[in-house]
Every structure is written in structure tokens, then in C-alpha cells.
Amino acid sequence: MIRLPPQPREWIDRDARIEFEFEGARYEGFGGDVISSALLACGQHLLGRSFKYHRPRGVLSMANHDANVLLQSDTDTNIRADLTPIAQGRSYRAVNTLGGLKRDLTQALGWFDRFLPIGFYYKAFYRPRWLFPYWERLIRELSGLGKIDTTYRGGRQSRTHRYCEVLIVGAGAAGLAAAARLADSDLDVVLVDENRRPGGSLDFMHAREADAQTFRDEALADIDRAANIEWIPDAFASACYDRYTVPLVAASGVTQVHARAIIFATGVIEQPAVFRNNDLPGIVLATGAQRLIHRFAVAPCDTCVVLTANDEGYRAAIDFAEAGIRVAAVVDMQAQPSNDDAAAELLGRGIQLIPAAHIDEARGSGQLEAVTVHSNDAGIVQEIACDGLMMSVGWAPAGSLVYQAGGRFGYDDALHQIVPEATPEGVYTTGRLNGVFSLAARIDDGRAAAAEAAAFLGRSQEAPPRPPRDRTPHSHPYPLKKHRKGDEFIDFDEDIQLKELDVGIREGFDSIQLLKRYSTIGMGPSQGKTSNMNGVRFIAHKCGRDVDAIGVSTPRPFYHPVAMGALAGRRLRREWHTPMHESHLARGAEMMDTGPWRRPKSYTAKSPRSQIEAEYRVVREGVGIIDVSTLGKIEIFGDDAQALLEHAYTCAFDKLALGMTRYIFMVDGSGTLIDDGVAARLGVDHFYITTTSTHSQTVLRLLQLSADQLALDVAIIDRSFQLAAVNLAGPSSRRVLGRLTDIDLDDEAFPYLGLREGVVAEIPARLLRVGFVGELGYEIHCAASQGAALWERLLEAGEPEGCAPFGVEAQRLLRLEKGHIIIGQDTDGTTNPFEVGLGWGVRLDKARFHGKHSLQILQPMLARKLIGFETEDRDGEDPIEECHLVIDGDRIAGRVTSVAYSPVLQKVIGLAFVESKLAEVGTRLTIRTTSGRLVTGVVTDTPFYDPDNARQKPHAEPAYETAA
Amino acid sequence: METASRSPVLQAFDGGRFEMGAVNGMQIALTQGEAVTAAGYIADLSAVHKRLFVGGGARRFLEAHDIEAPADLLRWWSLGEDGAVVYLHHHRFLVVAPSGTTRPGPLFAIAPGSQGDTLVLHHEAADFALGGEAADAIVRELCPMNLAASSDDVWIATQLAHCDVAVRRMTTDAVTYRLMCAPADAAFLFGVLVEVVQENGGTIAGFNDYLELLEGGASR
């Protein structure tokens, strides 16, 4: 056990003992331990395997900055062991291994690394082609990290919104200073941090500094007391959208914070040095080691070497010694120590200082055993035995969210760090992110940022001046050392070595954007937090350019990986129900989507053709009823109502008499058919129109646009959801309807295409005598709240005639026999009315209407036509289907848009677009089916059925009984 | 014959637990028989009378019936209790009767249809009341807009759970949201609201339960 004595700020509860399993073995930790800290405390240093070569890996940052240790439990995958608290009885295992972590068989891949160079998948496997499926399967099998248990049903994660005036991201020294400054102001402030406790580096880098702890305690007391500050721990800011919207991701779900000003106190991310075998377990970032010591009271090793290039490394070395770790040496990459006092103290403790040196190589079998130190000037090489190497060689700004907010960054040559140069209004950066490193300066910078934010929001705050950026570098300009034997890892997520970037640059990928995609540097789960900065330095070095000129790759959301469940949140799949929806379900309907609507496909499961034909026969032979509430319904009212319709539709309305309807269709500005329906005249200045189910909003927009453009005095009222509608159709429809209404249904009193208003089954209704399905029929519209009652009463009244509901599939068959088109099925995004035989409805002699100019041009250019065809071919296994191609010789000459077997005609009928030269009645067409079979069809006139519309007249039907 | 009109969310109420009945000729859940929790409630008020007045003469028509409408678009004025007149659009006004009124007056007795230069329409909408201590939190889960920051006289057209809704926020004593949506969206939206209300410790309330709350002044 390497658990340390109690530390002043430790996060663990030593009274709570928690047992868990890792790789099949039992371990014990304390409450508050994360998985990594508990395992390290038990002496388990090998915690994971790398992605590509399956190299042994241990902890690196002990923060969410690397993905060295990803685990799998029974219920979850890709668990970040450095962050996730241990849970009683839970079992964990490493991801991406074959045969367990210790003996992982796939580590043999490392032996073949010379055959797996950068971009190898672009260069190999495509020859011979027949082998590709094998390679694809193998790569898919070997790649990826954790495995998802698709049978597991976890709890739903929440999604909510939070509105505030100031959002402070990061509760380290600068963030706390900013929040404390705003305490007791009248601003609504949210302070968030990804850690479970506030304080940031105050808890580990400054844990032994009394003044730092005093500031921390006072600031927290101010924040606790302030009613205007909400503290949100354990949640990370995942992105920044529209400058002021930041989704906070926590274990419970996502809170979208909408702020009026944001202060980013996100700090910096410690960067690793790059040298041979720099990924061995035991090689840790100095701040990672300090997190282990101060938060979890775990010593990361017995004997360590500290590799540094800054003041922080010296202070960390003292910290390690204070914790009882033997510090064998401090290797400084710079010639002069950056902290003379600390250097003197280290020497006083008998610790060896090696200036102007670097680590040449780390050695060990599965864990660090020694490092080879190379002195730059003297050329002396010495090996130091150690089981820990702590790296403190530089920092990269945690600035992704600032970039996303619209901030600009530049490279500070004195600091050797990328720093913000400009931020948008209301967006502020503070602390080490700004290149301000001393604790006092970070506190001042945080207070200044708060004052600036308050002033931006109109609060009179005297903003103190911002402290200047440090002029002493805290980052080494090039902490990378190539080794002749390789294995210097620059990206731990993707196992990318320096030699691979070298090859990429030589192949011409010398910009960071290109090299990122070619090499995948920065594309792993940690999104380049510990690799991008070194990658930029490497390109700049190889290409002889400035770091500023190379720039950084675009940091896109998300900052840390976000679970799909968190993104999904609550299931919110909106669907529209008609008022008769429950009745359809009660009758066993199979429902289908029509845009956002749910409609009955047919009234039995899986809609077999026998059921569809049964529903069809009810309509052709008796009476059927279909729910058409999904139709768009629009009321047009006002002095200019007719003028509006004349402009919006292609036909003329001057002859549309009161109480009559007509078929109408609409084109867009390019002359393309976009909708059809029925228009009814209710008064001189009052019309009622219907649209297709899915285009009512399009029609409404176009009507409103026309009304506005022409400054018409008209009201356009969307009644689509206000009204229910049914179509009662079939030779017996008049008889059934007559039982429920006192409206005179006589053919002369209520002719075909007529409209009447009255009462049906005691329900106020509007009746339209139209016939989409080609039978005598009535479309009955009533208030939506009464739709279900109307539906049920009509079915009940029609029981003697065998009245039954029919679904969309039967309706499609019925209308096909009549040759009626469906917009969107028998038309496409370029179809004009002339192509589908609707030229009769285009009044080019009208002064103006929407799309007229285009239709004038299109009329003489008829390259294709929608024709009817029939065939005797009825191959049940390989039938003609919609979208099958019409072939002329070796060319595609058209496609089928609708096709079905007509029970009444006893042949297959359909509609197809064909080239004009093939549109003559009697022309033989060749249609290719799915299997490639060629079927012959013959172009025929439409309607296929009842061309004289005799079925839509009631003369053949027996006298009806009236409600009276 | 049975009352023809049905609430668009009638099927969401468990007939065994709720007393069902008719309000203004619409079948609706009346009461759940238990006290509404302070945490939150969602009630179906779809039976409340609503009329749409459209056309160049609509404002004059309302004035002739002693109803003065707001001068600004998307504002609503109270007609007593939770009744409201809303200026929805150019020449378009919505009048919502107070939910406790079974005889809402002559304006609602006018038959739908053309009245000279005014078209009178019966307005069909799913109409819910969402109230209680968790009301703001519930709305925040489903709506990206900061409804809590809106003033009381604003008629807000927004989305809740991806459904188009019109929202009135009333804060006389406690926060109550009146939410109206298309009947087609009602089953889905009500289902989501019930789910979130229950997660927040709230309950489903009947029409009369809501009236009791209204009379108690706890949630107007």
C-alpha cells in the first residue's frame, strides 16, 4: 500500500471502505477515491492498454486530459478511471484487450509497428481488391475502445436550461476570485467546475501554501454566503454556442446555460515531454502526481525523477519530497533554474540538480524502472533508477471554449504559450489561460474580469487594471527529443510517434489541419489536450516556421467526450395524432408516418395485400370511411380573398360559384408543382381550401407572402388542426349519410363538387362532395374535438351496409385506378403541371399568378410525361415497384411512380414518367425490376377505371333515407 | 346522444382514478379525488371556451361587445380570473373565457361564421395549466426560452418539447403557465408534461381541481 497519511485537503473519507473488482481481482479503496487512485493505492500501476499497439499505460494527468485509463463495467463503457468514483461491489476491466490487461494478446501488434506507418490504411489493403473485405473485418474487430452492451437499458439523463447573467467556467484561483467579486451583487451568477470541489490548482499545486489556502477559504465563504451565486460542481462546460450558450454536462444530464456574459477561468493543461518510452506506467505529469498526493493521499511512486523546464517543476519537487517520496534528481531542460530559491532548497535537501539536460529514454518492462539523462552541453549520459518520472515542462491553454465563443489566440514568444488576443463582447478570459501565473496576479486578474463583466451588463463597477502577462516562460519551446529507436509518443490516444509525424510532413502534410487528419493526432478521446501543442511545436520546428504561423487546429465541440445518452436526453419524438387516433388503434390499425402525422396504413397488422383489397372492395362495392383530418385546411376571408387565390393558384376563381368547389394546384416560382387540393366558395369574400397532408405550412407561407407582397386586405387562417375530416365513399355513402343529416343530398340539391354546411349526427359540419377515390363520396369536416364522435357515429350508421374504415394503402389503390396523382409521389422536385396532364388547370391568360412566367417558358418544352401503363405481368416474387426504371434500348428513359394490381381490372396498372416520344398510347415500355428482369408494359389512357365518372353520380344508387 | 366533443387528451386520464364529466359540452377529466401537491400539477382545461375574431372589423366588433383588446401585438389583457383577450395578428384576436365560467356571455353565444367584416371562429386548442413550485423548473426542461423572465402580459409563441405552443405566464400569487397547442400535438405534449411533472413530485389534476386552486388563490 502506498497510501499516505491524511493530507489537509484530501477528498477521501477514510471511514468509508469500498470494495470493488478490477480485471477479476478484488481491491479496496476509500469513499471519495476514484478508480485510478484506489488502484494505485493498492500498488496496481498497469491500468490500461494503448489504442493501436496495446502498450502498457498508467495514469498521466489524473484529470480529464488524457485517455490512458478507460474501463468497462457491466453497465457502462469507456469509463474515465481518473475521474470516476469507485462504487461498492462494482466490477471493472480495461477496454481494448484480448485475454485481459496483463497478458493482452494484441500487444504483439507493437512488433509490427514498422508495417503500420502513418496513414497505412490509405496505402494498403486496396490490392488485391478481393482481400479488402477480410482486412475491413479484421480492422473493425481490432479497432475501437469499449464495447457497448446494446441490451442494457440505463436511466434516462435529464436536459434542462438555466439562464443567468454571468457564467464563470472554472473554480480555480481566478474563477473563485471572479465569483467572490460578484458575490452579493444583483447579478445572477453561475459558477461551474468539472471537479467535485472548488479550488482547482489551489488544492494540489498550492496545497502547502498558507496564503493560497487563506484566499481559498475566504473566497468560498463569500460565495457560500452569496444568494446570487449558484455553484455547480462535477459538471464540465462541453461547448460554447452562439457565444453565450454553454451546455454543462454532469452525470445526471445536460444543463444548457444561457448567459449574458461568460468568464472563462479554465486554466492551462500540463503538457508531457516527448522522448523514447515516455508512455511507460510511472511517467506522470507533475500536476497529476500532485493531484494523487493531495486529493487522494496516494504516493505515485517511491523514488522519482522530476523533469522540468519551469518554476512549477521545482516547487513540485519540493512537494514530492514533503510527501515522503524520494526525489532522486531534478532534470532541468533549461540552463538556468527558473526558481533559484527552490533550487537552493532542493540542493539543501540533498537532491541532485541536473541543468541543461533532457531525458533520452525511459526503461522498464511494463513499468518505469530507470531513466537515461542526457546532458546537453557535456554530453554526459547517466542512468537513474526510479519508479516515477514527473514531467513539468509546459502548458497549453484550455481555450477550446473561448475559440468556440469567437475568441482569437496568438503565440507569446516570451512565454512560449498560446494566449488569448481578443474576445467578443461579453466574453472574458482570466488566470493562467491569460498567461498570468503567480497566484496574486491570477486573483487580481479574476477580480478584474468580474468587474469588466459587471460593467458590460450595466453595473457600475470600477474595473481594476489587468495584471501583465508573465515575461518568464513557463513552457519549454521544444520539449521533444527524437530517438534513433523511436517509440517517442506525441499522442498517447492514437499511439503516434515523432517519426510518424515526420513522415507525414515529408509527404506534404505540413499544415496542422492536414497533418491532424492524416496522422489522427488530436483526434482521440482526449481531443489533443496533451498532444496538439507538441504537434504544433514539432511542425514549426521541422518546417522552420514560427508556432504562430502554424496555428492550432479548430477546437470543435465537445471539449470532453459526451455520452450519447446525455445528448439524447428525454425521448421527444413529436408526432401528430388526428382526433380519431385512439379509434384507429382500437380497431387494430397499423400506423404509418405521413410527415409528422400518424395515419392508419390499413386496419390489420403488417397490412397484407388481402386486407388492403378487402378495404378496397368495401369502398368499391358498399361504403367505406377514411380519416382525412391530416389534410391542410385554410380559411381565406376578406375583400381581397379571391385576388389572393388568383395570385397563388394557377386556375381562375371567377366562375367558382357560391357553395361549389374545384380542384386546385399550386406551383412555385420555377413552375414546379408543390401542392394540390380543393377550393370551396363560402361567400363572396370567403373561401375554404384544403392542401395535401404534409404541405399545409408551405401553402400557408406562400399565401401569406403573396398577401404581403400585394398588400391585400385578407385574413389567412390555418384551420388544419382545428378541424377533423372524414371521407365517406362508396355507392352506399349517400344512404348512410342520409340517416344522420337533414341536408338535402339529392343530386340536384347537392351536386358533384358542391359544398353544404349543416349538421351530421348532431355535429355542425361542412360537407364537400368530392371524389378522390372515384366513388360517390362526401368529405365531412367538423370541429376537431368532435371528430372522434363523428367517425364513430358514421361507422355505426353504416353498419347495415357493412361500412368499414379503410387505410392509406387502400386509398392509394383506389385513386390509382382513377389516375389521380399524389404530389410528392407522382411528382418530383422539377415536375411542372404540363408533364402530368394538368395543363387544363393552368390559366396562362390570367394577368398574373405565382410561377406564371416559368410555366410560359416550360409549356413548349415537354421532355417527359406522366403516363398510365398496364401489364399482365404478376410475378409475386419480383414485381414491378415504384422507382423501377423504364429502359429504352440501353438508356434509362423513365421511372415508375405508382404501381399496383387492380382487383377490378385484374391487371397491374401504374403511372410512370417517360420521355415524350414514349408517351403515345399503345407504346410498349420495358421496365426493369429489382432482379434485373425486363417486363413489358403498354402505355394506356387514364383513368384506368370509370373514365366517364359515372360512379361519382348517385343515379345507380337506391333512394336514401333522410334523417328527417 | 353522448356529448360529441372530447378533450384531445381524454385518453391520458385513467377513468378509474379520475371522475370524468362534461364541461361546456366537452368530455374531460373533472377531478382526481386527491389533493393537488404543492410541488406541481398539470391540468387539462381544453374545455374552456375560446373564440377567434378575424377581419378588418374585428376590434370594433369586440368593442361593441364591451371588450377592449391590447393595442400591441402578442399582448393579452385579463378578462377577469384567467380569462383573456389576445391580440394575435393583424386583425386577429383570440378571446379565452375565464375557466370558472360556464356561461361566458353573449360573445360566446355568437354562432361561428361571417359577421359582416368579422369572421367569428370557434377556436379549438389543447389548453393546459401548469403550476406549483416546480413550474418554472419543469418548463426549463422542455423549453429553450427563458419564460420566467417574461412579463405577465406577453403572449409567447414558442416551442415546448418541440411542439408549437402559446404560453401565458401568470404570477398573481404563484406561477402558473397556461399552455395552448394544436390538438394534433396534444397527446404527445401532455404525455411529456405529465412525465416531467411527476418526476418533479407533481400530479395530474382535473378541471375542477384547477378551479379549486383558482378559487383558493393559490395559483393564479
Residue A2 pLDDT > 60: yes
| Phi, psi angle pair for A35, to nearest 5° | -60, -45
- Taking the C-alpha atoms of residue B122 and residue A723, their distance in angstroms, rounded to an integer, is 10
Tell me the chain A residues in contact with residue B12 when contact means C-beta distances shorter than 8 Å: none
The verdict on a CB contact (< 8 Å) between A783 and B124 is: yes
- Which positions ≥6 away from A739 have C-beta within 8 Å? A797, A961, A962, A963
Q: Do A721 and B183 touch (CB under 8 A)?
A: yes
Mean pLDDT of the region A424-434:
97
Reported confidence tier of residue B219, pLDDT bands at 50, 70, 90: very low
Give residues with Cβ within 8 angstroms of A659, minimum separation 6: A681, A754, A755, A756
- From residue A326, alpha-carbon distances to A42, A203, A304, A319, A338 in Å are 19, 22, 6, 11, 22
**Mean pLDDT, to the nearest integer, of B187-200?**
95
Interface contact flag, B183 A597, Cβ < 8 Å = no
Task: Note the pLDDT tens digit of each residue in A545-600.
Answer: 999 999 888 889 999 999 888 888 888 889 999 999 999 999 999 999 999 999 99
Q: What is the pLDDT of residue B218?
A: 46
Set of cell numbers at residue A419: 494566449
The residue with cell 391585400 is A712
Interface contact flag, A785 B183, Cβ < 8 Å: yes
Hey, what amino acid is at A497? Q
For residue A413, the SS3 value is coil
Cα(A747)–Cα(A194) distance, integer angstroms: 76
- Chain A to chain B Cβ contacts (< 8 Å): 115
Interface check A635 vs B, CB under 8 A: yes
Torsion of CA A730, A736, A741, A743, to 10 degrees: 40
Q: How far is B141 from chain A (nearest CA, A)?
A: 4
- Burial call A36-55: b when 16+ CB within 10 Å, e when fewer: bbbbbbbebbbbbbbbbbbb
Q: Residue A123: how many CB atoms within 10 A of its CB? A: 9
- Contact between B55 and A581 using a beta-carbon 8 Å cutoff: no
Question: Residue B40 and residue B25: Cα distance in Å, rounded?
Answer: 28
Contact yes or no for A68/A58 (Cβ under 8 A): yes
pLDDT digits (tens, 9 = 90+) for A588-605: 999 999 999 999 999 988
| A790 close to B (CB below 8 A) | yes
pLDDT tens digits, A480-522: 999 999 999 999 999 999 999 999 999 999 899 999 999 999 9
CB distance B119–A637 less than 8 Å? yes
Whether A830 and A864 have beta carbons less than 8 Å apart is answered as no
pLDDT at B1 over 80: no
Question: Which residues have CB under 8 Å from A831's CB, separation 6+?
Answer: A672, A673, A866
Asked if pLDDT for residue A959 goes beyond 80, the answer is no
Stretch A794-811: mean pLDDT: 97
Cell representation of residue A930: 429489382
Helix, strand or coil, per DSSP, at residue A338 = coil
Task: Give the side-chain half-sphere CA count within 13 A for A231.
Answer: 24
Is the predicted pLDDT of residue A962 greater than 70, yes or no?
A: no
Residue A167, pLDDT score? 98
CA distance A492 to B73: 59
Q: How distant is the Cα of A581 from the closest Cα of chain B, in angstroms?
A: 10
Q: How far is A764 from chain B (nearest CA, A)?
A: 10
Which residue of A248, A697, A721 is the best one to mutate when testing the B interface, meaning the one whose CB has the most B CBs within 10 A? Answer: A721
% of chain A at pLDDT higher than 70: 99
CA distance A285 to A273: 9
Confidence of residue A831 (pLDDT cuts 50, 70, 90): very high
Contact between A682 and A688 under an 8 Å Cβ cutoff? The reply is yes
Mean pLDDT over A143-162 rounds to: 84
DSSP annotation of B35: P
* pLDDT band of A139, cuts 50, 70, 90: confident
pLDDT above 90 as % of chain A: 85
Q: To which residue does cell 557535456 refer? A: A378
What does each C-alpha distance from A160 to A232, A264, A570, A825, A856 come to in angstroms? Answer: 14, 22, 10, 40, 53
Mean model confidence pLDDT for chain A:
94
The side-by-side arrangement of strands in the sheet containing A70-72 is: A25-31, A13-22, A91-94, A70-72, A79-80
B76-85: long-range contacts at Cβ-Cβ below 8 A with a sequence spacing of 24 or more? B76/B153, B76/B154, B76/B155, B76/B168, B77/B153, B81/B214, B81/B220, B82/B129, B82/B170, B82/B176, B82/B178, B82/B214, B82/B220, B84/B168
In this prediction, residues A422-442 reach a mean pLDDT of: 97
Please say whether the dihedral angle defined by the alpha carbons of residues A814, A815, A818 and A819, taken in this order, is positive or negative.
Answer: negative
Separation CA A199–CA A216 (nearest Å): 7
Whose CA is closest to A688, among A630, A642, A730, A624?
A642
Q: Which residues of A touch B182 (CB under 8 A)?
A: 576, 720-721
Chain A residues 138-177 with a CB less than 8 Å from chain B: 158-163
Report pLDDT digits (tens) over A313-336. 999 999 999 999 999 999 999 999
Whether the CB of A595 is below 8 Å from some CB of chain B: the reply is: no
- Which among A159, A574, A783 is the nearest to B122, CB-wise? A783
Q: Which pLDDT does position A156 carry in this prediction?
A: 81
Q: How far apart are CA A18 and CA A12, in angstroms?
A: 11
ipTM (interface predicted TM): 0.95
Dihedral sign from CA coordinates of A301, A304, A307, A312: positive
pLDDT tens across A254-312, in order?
999 999 999 999 999 999 999 999 999 999 999 999 999 999 999 999 999 999 999 99
| pLDDT bracket for residue A653 (50, 70, 90) | very high
How close, in Å, is residue B166 to chain A by CA atoms? 14
CA distance A574 to chain B (A): 6
Q: Look at residue A956 in the predicted model and tell me its pLDDT.
A: 53
Interface test with A, best of B90, B188, B190 (most A CBs within 10 A): B188
With pLDDT > 90 as the criterion, what percentage of chain B qualifies? 74
Q: How far is CA A243 from the centre of its chain?
A: 19
Task: Give tens-digit pLDDT for A810-824.
Answer: 999 999 999 999 999
Q: Quote the DSSP letter at residue A336.
A: S
Q: Which whole number is the average pLDDT over B16-31?
A: 92
Q: Rounded to the nearest 5°, which phi and psi values hold at A428?
A: -130, 145
pLDDT at B188 over 50: yes
Is it the case that residue B108 has pLDDT exceeding 90? no
Q: What is residue A960's predicted lDDT score, i.e. its pLDDT?
A: 52
What is the C-alpha to C-alpha distance for residues A243 and B201, in angstroms, rounded to an integer?
35
Interchain CB contact of A482 with B (< 8 Å)? no
pLDDT given for residue A553 in this prediction: 86
Instruction: Please indicate if any CB of chain B lies within 8 Å of the CB of A717.
Output: yes
